[in-house]
A = this chain, B = another copy of it.
Amino acid sequence: MANVIVIGGGFAGLNLVKALCRSNHAITLIDRTNHHLFQPLLYQVATAVLSPADIAVPIREVFRNYKNVRVLMGDVIAIDKQAKSVTLSSEKIYHYDYLIIATGSRHSYFGKNEWEPYAQGLKTVNDALQIRQRILMAFEKAEREDDIQKRQRHLNFVIVGGGPTGVEMAGSIADIAYHNLVKDFRQFSTKDARIYLIEACDRVLPMFSQKLSEDARRYLSDFGVIVRTHERVTAITDGVVETENDRIESDNIIWAAGNEASPLLQCLDVPLDRQGRVQVESHCNIPGSSSVFVIGDAAHFSVNGNPLPGIAPVAIQQGKYLGRYLKNPHKKNPPFVYFDKGMMATIGKSKAIAQIGPIQLNGLLAWLAWSIIHLMYLVGYRTKLLVLIEWIVSYIFNKKGPRLIYR
C-alpha cells in the first residue's frame, strides 16, 4: 500500500485514478475545482449550445464508492521532492510515495500578458461563461445602439489563433449570428456581424494535412467567417486588435493562440520545454525520479524527437498507463507507448475534418463521426443524453437554449 497523490482531475488524472482505484493504494486526488470537465466541448458552453453541467461531472461522485480515494478541492502551491510532500494554499501539507502531476495547461500570451484582460481565453467553465456572456451582450448592445459605427464594434468578433479551439469558436459564432439569431432583433441585422479568424501560420489547423486544412478553410468561408492566415497580431488593447495589415475594433476578442503548462512544474527543478512542460522519461517519470510523474498536457513526452500533441487521447492513455504501472511500480514495466487513433476537428454545424491514419474524412460524414465519438467519450449517461438533446435543439430546431445573460 502506498500513498499516491494526483494533482489535477482532467483527462489524465481522472483516468489514472479510475485505473488505480481498485488497488489498495491510498489515493488523494487534488483539483482546483470540484469537477472533471470534458474540455473538447467547452467551446459549446461558450457559444450557448450547452450548459456547464452537460459536460462536467463532480469528481467526488465518480469515486464515491471507493473509500481509498480521497478528493480534495484545493490549490497546490509547492512541491518538495526531498520531503516527498505537497503544500496546499491552506498551508496543509500532504505526503506521498508517488506523486502524479496532471495539471494541464493554461492559455499563454507569448509573453504579452498585458493582452490578457482584453482577449479572453477558454480553458475553464468560468472562461466559457464569460465568453458566452460577452457574445450575447454584444448583440443586446447592438440592438440598443443607434450609431452605426459603434454598433459594428459590438458586431465584430475577433478570434486569435487558427487551431481547433479558434476554428470551432469561429464556426459556432457564425452559426449564432447567421442562423440562430436572425429573427430575434429589430434594430439591426445580425448578418452584419463580422467574424475574423486570425492565424499567424499560413493555414488553419496546421496539424492536419494540407488538403484537410484547405477543406476547413473553405467551410469557414462558406459559413461567412473571414479567415486571415499568415497574419500576425501585433497589439491588443481595450476593444482593438492590431495586426501587421489591419486594425479591427471589436468588443469581442477571443484568445485561442497559445498554451503553457502550469507554473507549479517549476518547483520540480527539472528541465522544462519552451511551453513550460516537463520532459518526461519513458515511464512518464521526471528525470532522475521513480516517484514523481507528469502526464497529460503538462508533460512533454518525446517520440522521435517530437513531443506528443496536447490532446485528450494522449492524456487518457497516459493516465490509464500510469494507473496500471502504479499497481505494481517497477522500472522493468514496459514504457508508455501512444496509440494514435487520429485527429478530428469540427467547423460549425454539420462540417468537420478527420484524419485517421491514411484515411481522410471531411464534410457531413466527418461531422457525424465527430459527434458520435464525442458523445461516446462523455462521462456518464446523463451527460450523453443532455448533450444529445441540446444538439438536436440547436442543430435541428435552430434554437440555443442556454442563451441566458445573468452575470
Contact = CB atoms under 8 A, between A and B. Distances in A.
Interface of A: 33-35, 51-54, 56-58, 60-61, 64-65, 67, 70-74, 90, 92, 124-126, 129, 136, 140, 143-144, 181, 183-186, 382-383, 385-386, 389, 393, 397, 399-407
Nearest to A127: B406
A355 to B, nearest CB: 33
Given A65-B183, A136-B34, A143-B72, A56 B404 contact: yes
A185 B143 contact: no
Given A144-B74, A183-B64, A58 B404 contact: yes
Contacts of A35: 403-406
A140 B35 CA distance: 12
A140 B407 contact: no
Nearest to A393: B382
A252 B19 CA distance: 37
A186 B27 CA distance: 12
Contact of A389 (B51, B385, B403): B385
Contacts of A129: 406
Given A90-B144, A385-B389, A34 B403 contact: yes
Contacts of A65: 183
Contact of A404 (B52, B186, B393, B400): B52
Given A64-B183, A67-B186, A73 B405 contact: yes
Nearest to A394: B382
Nearest to A59: B184
Contacts of A407: 126
* Identical chains in the assembly: 2
Given A57-B401, A71-B184, A386-B389, 10 more contacts: A51-B51, A51-B52, A53-B401, A53-B403, A61-B184, A61-B403, A73-B144, A90-B144, A124-B406, A382-B393
Nearest to A385: B389
Contacts of A126: 406-407
Contacts of A57: 401
A90 B144 CA distance: 9
28 contacts: A33-B405, A34-B136, A34-B404, A34-B405, A35-B403, A35-B404, A51-B52, A51-B53, A52-B402, A57-B401, A61-B184, A61-B403, A64-B183, A65-B183, A67-B186, A71-B184, A73-B140, A73-B143, A74-B144, A90-B144, A124-B406, A125-B406, A126-B406, A129-B406, A382-B389, A382-B397, A382-B401, A389-B389
Contacts of A64: 183-184
Given A51-B53, A124-B406, A92 B144 contact: yes
Nearest to A129: B406
